[in-house]
Structure 1
Amino acid sequence: MMVEDVLIPILLSLKIVLVATACVFVGGVFLARLLLTQNFFGKEVIESLLLLPMVLPPTVTGFGLLVLFGKHGPLGVLTRFLFGGQVLFTWGAAVIAAAIVAFPLMYQSARAAFEKVDARQEQAARTLGAGELRVFFTITLPQAWPGILSGLVLAFTRAYGEFGATLMVAGNIPGKTQTVPMAIYFAVESGNYRVAVPLVAATALISLGAILWLKIWLKRKFWCYTERKMG
């Protein structure tokens, strides 16, 4: 076993997942807040489309992305016009696939968190003259943050484990688009367990570490809140 066979997929996966998670965080929080506070025709359809990747098989999602970003697809034509090349079978395509499949978890968690925010405190701040941005960053976001953070961790772990959609749009190019799940699959398929085992162990540790960190943080947050209430 070469160290590079294990290290390169892990580093590439972390790079892809961190970029995808950042995009999912911004988009998920923004759309969750927007769709929660605004009512317009077709809102339910938009929300259903945002959640669709959560219930579709990843290969179906990947095929949809393949059509959209293909040579004659609308987004493929647009990216070729803007950037002079195709997104498919690049690490950018892996980012898009990971972000799409992880987005519903971020969106659902953020929306549920915003629904629990005390609207009376928000209204009181507006009555005292605070603008919408100030209300959001000083009242809404702090109250919703535990739920948003939970969604962020879930989105991170989901994006890290993405396989089907990524394989469809990014392929399995070592050092370029070969993420950890694909490296594990093809290592097992070829009988190379000396590569598969450490990759599986690293994936389990990374995911477990993210979940444990979240639970510890939420527990500390709860006790700090309890102490303030009792004090």
Structure 2
Amino acid sequence: MPALLLVAMLSGCTAETSAEETTTPATPIPQDRAPAAVGEAHESEVPADWAEPGDVPVTPVDDLDGEARRALLRIPASSDPVDQACTRQDLTADLTFQDAAMGHRYGHLTVTNTGATDCAVRGYPGLGARGAWGNPFVNELQQNPMDLHGHYLPGGDEYVPQVLDLGAGESAQLSVEWTGALGGAESEPLGELFLQPFRGADTLVVSGAAEVASDLSMFTTVKVGPFLPHDAEAEPDSG
């Protein structure tokens, strides 16, 4: 075989191999990021005239499109969508009160697969809130590796959430704590609490939040745990 032809063939193989090695996969491996947090809001983030009701009618939550709902998130979900990830259309979310201490409130947030087929959740949900007067809340928000009793999970910040497969009618739970600047009679009460099941997903409204967490207001600190298997007997204790 002529030397020039052999060199050309080898060069072609090298170029082909290099191109294959540098090609980005069409479907990236889903990431499950470490718990994140957002601190005190900058004054530029606080809505104008937030301290009193406005004159403009509040847009009903059902009239908000997906982009408007995502814009109300204070922090996004930690996980990219897993295989057969639960979407807004698959889930309902409910907040129930569990316990209270000096300046602290504790609840369980339950997400239930109301669809006809299995779906899955993983990691920490995204969370955001809007007040009853229509203002987006600028809560300090933390994703914390806490169990359904409010205690740190094994490994703490290094805890790696597992994929939870939810059959039709099955649920996952997570802990929610709100504390710090709790709202009073003169504060804008909670209108809606929004939950994002995975990063980039449309959000769903958490049922019961406006009643259970009525003192969650503009600057309240909120902590949320990861999705965990449902435990109807879980009750936070004082420890």
TM-score category (smaller protein):
under 0.3
TM-score in terms of structure 1 length: 0.22
Question: Which one has the largest radius of gyration?
Answer: 2
TM-score in terms of structure 2 length: 0.21
- Higher-strand-fraction structure: 2
Q: Higher relative CO (CA 8 A, sep ≥ 6), structure 1 or 2?
A: 1
